[in-house]
Structure 1
Amino acid sequence: MFPLRPVLPDHFLILVSVLFPLVFGACRPAPDIDLQGHRGARGLLPENTVDGFLHALDLGVRTLEMDVVISGDAQVVVSHDPIMSPVICSHPDGRPITAADTVWIYRLDYREVASYDCGGRGHPDFPDQQPRKLHKPLLSEVLREAEAHARRSGRELPRYNVETKSRPGGDRLAHPPPDEFSALVVRALREAGVEERATIQSFDPRTLNAAHALDWQGETALLVARDEPRFEVIVDNMGFTPDILSPHHEMVTERFLTRAREAGMKTIPWTVNDVAEMQRLLSLGVDGIITDYPNRFPH
């Protein structure tokens, strides 16, 4: 038998430096993965609220994902629905909004919008969400508070992914026409000085085209529903190629990613709340993940 030779310190360090990334690197997502907090951190705090966005930053998200609508006085309001939701909102006097109520945000001045509580009831689909009485903020308020919070915390300034909640059938009923809608959003992002850290996304390619026509210097993202697998047709009709393709997470396969890359687009799927599904998508090589639960992201 040959005598065992001790591992010298230098040899040990070399061995560790080689094996550590091989053993542990596969367990960590790439550092350039764009973790996005869906409507802030909807699984934990009321959606599309300042509190939710700041909590998402504390959980380590790179990008705050949010939705915007337009009020009757042309203010950009952070809200997923064009109406006061009967699921999460209450009248100014405390009565819950019901399905029989139809309160269009596009018919209210922002002062009126802010008088509704859209957090105190919680959300039946998110039992871990902590109810808080909170209003629908202006986009400018979210940007101001998020920038200040990041600076106070010594964090990198966040990115913003802003979805225009528009559809052709909603013009002049739920929102202004796409040119006006996009102009208001672009102006708000430019005035806040975050254009180059912002993405405008939508299921409605009209608002993306409108932003592109305004010489938008941030990114654009085309959202793709499960019943729209041929995204190439939509992109061909747009006249320009968005920077990002955001499909429902179940659509993402190796072939889907290849098609997106060949078209010149990154892939950031929505809305991924299951850890095993996050790991599947990361192993395929997605560029980011949008989730209601940033705390579940596999670091």
Structure 2
Amino acid sequence: MRSARLARLLAPMAMVLPLFAGSPTAVADEKAAEHAVIAHRGSSGVAPENTAAAVRTAIAQRADFVEIDVQRTKDGKLVNFHDCTMERTTDVEEKFPGRPSYRISDFTWQELRTLDAGSWFHPDYAGEPIMSVREVIKLVDRRAGLLAEISPCDHYRGLPADLAAEFTSVPGYLDRALASEELAVQSFEVDDARAFNERLSEVPIGVLDAERPSDAELVELSSWADQVNPQWTVTDQGLVDRIQELGMTANVWTVNEPGSMRELLELGVDGIITDFPQSLTQR
């Protein structure tokens, strides 16, 4: 039997139909209503990842959850950003030429707010700023669930504790999100996932895995984790069944191709993490 504190990433999902030509689509299935649609870095297939535009679009598309990436600035602000350095998705090299490092942790929040995190994706998004985690929470609160990934960038220490403190510092948010099963945390680093779980055990915690976990690893994780979230390419019926048999849920990542979405739905996964949530919600 599943743990009583297990808040599964489940929400009703619309029948799956094409949204527009050229976008990934999936085929409707009776199991679809049992699966969560999780917008990877927001609706990052149609808006610049991890920006307010991507988060708002995911909400408008009725994604059940918005997935974000948590890092920390030089002055201690938690921000939503994926890469360990900022060159790929911002104009940091133009704004701050010659800096020895372009890691989030080497910049203050005030410096980061001057960066353009949208133009790389499309000129229509010029000027989109980097978001703080607090800003993400305000956007999704009462509108969508939040799946927060603790950054695996190896220069950080103490991120799990900082994220736990951030959730508890927003008046009323943690209670609301837990009551509606709209909050979970995940990490590739087992130690970070466990450290967060020790701080806020009531928040569902997941472990990401790019490789197929062994049965021994799954059994050990089942003693404290709520989710095992594997890369979709290593996921098969046996893995999904075993994760669920051990009382955990499986949210697969990052699935953008319609045939793959169909196959994973048929396996009975608990959630699909995708750059194109509209393909699964019809919005």
What TM-score does the superposition give when structure 1 sets the normalisation length? Answer: 0.76
Corresponding residue for residue 114 of structure 1: 113
The superposition leaves residues 74-101 of structure 1 with CA deviations (integer Å, 9 ceiling, x where unpaired) of 11110002221x2221038558x89x97
Percent sequence identity is 23
Deviation (angstroms), 1:247? 0.6
Change in 2 beyond 3 A, CA 1:257/1:235 = closer
Change in 2 beyond 3 A, CA 1:238/1:269 = closer
Change in 2 beyond 3 A, CA 1:283/1:158 = same
Q: Does 1:198 align with 2:176?
A: no
Q: Does 1:87 align with 2:88?
A: yes
Corresponding residue for residue 14 of structure 1: none
Stretches of structure 2 that go unaligned for 5 or more consecutive residues are 1-26
Deviation (angstroms), 1:236? 5.3
Structure with the bigger RCO (C-alpha within 8 Å, sep 6+) is: 2
The superposition leaves residues 42-79 of structure 1 with CA deviations (integer Å, 9 ceiling, x where unpaired) of 11000001111011010110101010111111111100
Corresponding residue for residue 245 of structure 2: 262
Instruction: Select 1:243's aligned residue among 208, 223, 226.
Output: 226
- The within-5 A match list for 1:89-104 is 89-91=90-92, 102-104=101-103
Count of aligned residue pairs for this structure pair: 249
Deviation (angstroms), 1:163? 0.4
Instruction: Select 2:140's aligned residue among 143, 146, 149.
Output: 146
Aligned AA (1:279): R
SS in 2 for 1:30: helix
Stretches of structure 1 that go unaligned for 5 or more consecutive residues are 1-24, 124-128, 151-156
Change in 2 beyond 3 A, CA 1:233/1:80 = farther
Alpha carbons 2:80, 2:132 under 8 Å: kept: yes
Deviation (angstroms), 1:216? 2.8
Q: Distance in 1 between matches of 2:116 and 2:198?
A: 36
Deviation (angstroms), 1:146? 2.5
Structure with max Cα Rg: 1
Change in 2 beyond 3 A, CA 1:257/1:133 = same
Q: Distance in 2 between matches of 1:231 and 1:132?
A: 45
Alpha carbons 1:28, 1:298 under 8 Å: kept: no
Deviation (angstroms), 1:185? 0.5
Which shifted more, 266-275 or 249-258?
A: 249-258
Corresponding residue for residue 57 of structure 2: 55
Aligned AA (2:278): N
Change in 2 beyond 3 A, CA 1:69/1:252 = same
SS in 2 for 1:213: helix
The superposition leaves residues 241-280 of structure 1 with CA deviations (integer Å, 9 ceiling, x where unpaired) of 3111111111111111111112221111000001111111
Alpha carbons 1:45, 1:130 under 8 Å: kept: no
Aligned AA (1:88): T
Corresponding residue for residue 4 of structure 1: none
